[in-house]
A and B are shown apart, each in its own frame.
Chain A
Amino acid sequence: MKHAISLRVNGILQRLEVEPHHSLLDVLERHCGVRRRETCGIGMCGTCTVLVDGKAMSSCLVLAPLAGGTEVLTIEGLARNGRLDIVQEAFIDEMGFQCGYCTPGMVLAAHSLLRESPAPTTEEIRHYLAGNLCRCGSYEKILAAVHTAARRLAAQSTEVKKK
């Protein structure tokens, strides 16, 4: 028995009929044109991380019917008009990736962290991102990327305040 839900994905309103046993990961792939990034299927790896109302969540663990009424942001929705956002730029500048498979989830989780804690310590970053696995082992450079993003976001908001 399908459920009718409506949710916003990357700013676009979606009205969908979803299976009760499907996950948000399934919905995003089947109905919203989002590339499926799934490594473990049980919420342990963070590869499928998306932002649900601004908070990082493993989309494989969110039941589709419960995603109704939410605002979902995936990696496809971060860049605006072809311009990368500050976190994405920082990941490029610090080369915080190798194969790139964990990168969408990692970037989004970093977003969620910086929203909650704009000036995180290394320890805070390690604990917040502990659920985002990177088998290529890019952890040191991902740390650097998050620090750089935090610094740039702080500088940007200082700029805004000055104005």
Chain B
Amino acid sequence: MIDDRQRVTGQISYVQDLALPSMLIGKILRSPYPHARLLRIETRAAEALRGVAAVLTRNDLLNSPHIDPIYGPQIKDQPVLALDRVRFVGEPVAAVAAEDAETAALALQSIEVDYEELPAVFDPVRAAEEKAPHVHEILHQVRLGTSAYFGLRPVAGTNICHHYRLRQGDLEEGFARADLVVEATFRTPAAQHVAMEPHAVLAAFQEGGKLLVYSPTQSPFNLRDLLAEMFHLPPDRVQVLVPTLGGSYGCKLFPRVEPIAAALAWQAGRPVKIVLDRPEEFVTLNRHPAVITIRLGVTHAGSILAKKVTAYWDTGAYADCGPGVAQKGGFSSVGPYRIPHVQVDSYCVYTNLPPNGAYRGYAVTQVAWASEAMMDEAALALGLDPLEFRLKNILRDGDQFATGEILRDVHFEECLKTAARQIDWQGTGFERTATAEGRLRGKGLSVILKGMTTPSRSEALIEIDEEGVVTLHTASVEIGQGVRTALSQIAALFLGLPYASIRVPDVDTSLTPFDTRTSSSRSTDIMGRAVGLAAQDLRRQLLEIAAPRLKASPQDLTLAGGLIHVVEAPARRLSLQEVVRQAGRGTLKGRGEFANTGGLDPETGRGIASSYWHQSAAGVEVEVDPETGQVWIVGCHAAVNAGRVVNRIAAELQTEGCIVMGLGSALFEEVCFDAGQVINPNLSDYMIPSFLDIPPKLGFTLLEQPGAHPHGLGETALPVIPAAVGNAVADAMGVRIRDLPITPEKVLRALKAPPTGEAGAEEEEP
């Protein structure tokens, strides 16, 4: 990694390390009710405290012509601070900026707020009903542009803010012709990203009314544009700077704490820094809970004829990117299979819970949990090997997906066969004897497809100055995935330089060229292409300048080791520095831009969902202790299609990281609520995988093909893990758990339950 030295010496700066002169510390007062009218807010006592510079409430926001206090990346529904009502426990109601954190905290305590409670709803299926309490009274403005690329379809009179529909063929005919129909409902809970670095932001209004924001954001240009709109500024009067992120996994995508910090900075007339504490992280952004019902129609021979999916996505009190999640989850729920008759209804529903948004794997973890379980259930009912059943229906190169698009560069079969081989899959012949300690043994497989943001656009700029220093300007954000290293490697290839010599400055929206965002594992692919084009542009310029001086034509020259030399006569050479100086034009610049195109028809849900599909499979072997309910992961292997690996170690780290995160989701991660309040908002009650949770055999394969383009894989190995674990546990126990996570309590209940083959849904999980 290009800044690895700084990482091991503690020299790397995260946003919370930054400071500006006369900076204040901001803190947020949050609602204790899940749904209530905001009657009265009294802040005079807080304002009078020594050291308090500003107190912000709805009055300040509503009374100012300079602030439009409602924002949202896809639906403009989220206020900076609660205006007429609060919609979730933890919703920001007021904010204080003070000289230090203690004073700010003290000021919060002296703010009085009166609420009038309203009926609340906490389950997406109930919330979708017409009689449910409405979380939002009016349907809000849809935001078009770079964040939303589909037509929003809310259902009037309900909490459904988006209904994604996909239709292919004739579902009734498909089921009529099927020999067997299986149906079940699956649930996934909210999960927390638990990035080790908390959300932090430093905002300041500068001379001339310019807004400066330091934020660990995965979407700098989106943030810039939304803040510009909020403060009635042209976009170039908002400058977003992004140092390295201490993890994110989606929680730092789209505006988060920046609007409050900016509004406080505006109110106080001084820079404001806000750093969230861990309990606040649990009410800021979580992963969408989902309730997914799948009905599958199959023939005796094992062909899938029809698939009906009904999915409810709990997006919380504010939509964030929920509509996009419902859409992506919608088409991904079809799975990597050829199915002639498909009907998907995917509903994004408001509830009175904290907002849910982007989470690594982006809806595919939830749909794979349901869809890949159904594949096993169908195989079992047919008496077929789950591997053979999948292979019989799996999508191959040139096949048409349910959205109508033809798939290219797909390797699902190879991913699945690799995963199966690595866990020594023996199909239905697997010897399911107990271990010496009496543990039940099982194996499970899964295979997924996941889309990539389509359409999107990335630009890159590479400069070389008269000192020969090469700088790559890219707005791809470093989250720990090593993207800036990988991009510098791509540039270095074309320029014949050691990649570590290429400078990659932090993102600065006033200098760095445009990028849609760092998400959906698109950067190595899409930004990589832009960087490659920029490097080739610069290379061409360098060769054209050098050619006459080396008495050759450009095609006789090559770049290597920081030099340009004649291929046939290496002694005839110039350093890059000499070439730039001799050109006499100052710094040379190479530019590249790449956009992937596509999109889905809002009416049919069909079109081009993704310009490239991420593909992976997993094989998991488990042992289940029938006395304690504990599930031991004996072995776990993921196979991911990488195309061409740019930075091998970074690709390994990302894949291992995905597997580990997937195991957490599979076995213990769940944000628990009681009457809308998070009851485990800390790392003692919400556990993430530690060293002790790593299975003895953790492996992965990165599939590459000669001549292939590099593909991203920052998420790809995650969604397959819970599904494969679920299948392995069902294989071991002979009964299926349908709600994540697979806790010991659920295992024991399932083992003791009457053998109906259903272990499923809990009534009201606390």
Contacts and interface: CB of A to CB of B under 8 A. Distances in A.
A98 B698 contact: no
B196 A135 contact: yes
Q: Which of A79, A91, A125, A135 has the most CB of B within 10 A?
A: A135
B196 A101 contact: yes
Contacts of A132: 690-691
Contact of A133 (B4, B12, B657, B683): B683
B684 interface: yes
A56 B514 CA distance: 44
Interface in A45-77: 45, 47, 74-76
A103 B688 contact: no
Interface in A138-158: 138-143
B659 interface: yes
Given A95-B1, A101-B246, A45 B683 contact: yes
Given A42-B683, A139-B691, A140-B694, A107 B8 contact: yes
A27 interface: no
Contact of A136 (B12, B17, B652, B657): B657
A38 to B, nearest CB: 8
B660 A39 contact: no
Contact of B682 (A40, A79, A84): A40
A44 B682 contact: yes
Contacts of A35: 10, 13-14, 17
Contact of B9 (A79, A101, A131): A79
B9 A75 contact: yes
A34 B694 CA distance: 32
B506 interface: no
A140 B9 contact: no
A137 B479 contact: no
Given A40-B682, A41-B277, A138 B657 contact: yes
Interface string B477-497: 001111000000000000000
Contacts of B698: 140
Contacts of A41: 277-278, 682
A92 interface: yes
Contact of B10 (A39, A40, A75): A75
Interface string A12-49: 00000000000000000000000111111110110100
Interface residues of B, number: 51
A138 B656 contact: yes
B143 to A, nearest CB: 30
Chain A, interface SS category: loop
Nearest to B193: A135
A130 interface: yes
A88 interface: yes
Contact of A39 (B198, B481, B652, B694): B198
A101 B17 CA distance: 12
Contact of A101 (B197, B652, B683): B197
A1 interface: no
A53 B10 CA distance: 20
Interface string B8-46: 111011101100000000000000000000000000000
Interface string B677-690: 00000111000111
Contact of A129 (B12, B193, B247, B691): B691
B16 A36 contact: yes
Given A44-B684, A88-B8, A136-B480, A141 B245 contact: no
Interface of B: 1, 4-10, 12-14, 16-17, 193-198, 244-247, 249, 277-278, 479-482, 649-650, 652-654, 656-661, 682-684, 688-692, 694, 698
Interface of A: 35-42, 44-45, 47, 74-76, 78-79, 84, 88, 91-92, 95, 97-104, 107, 125-127, 129-143
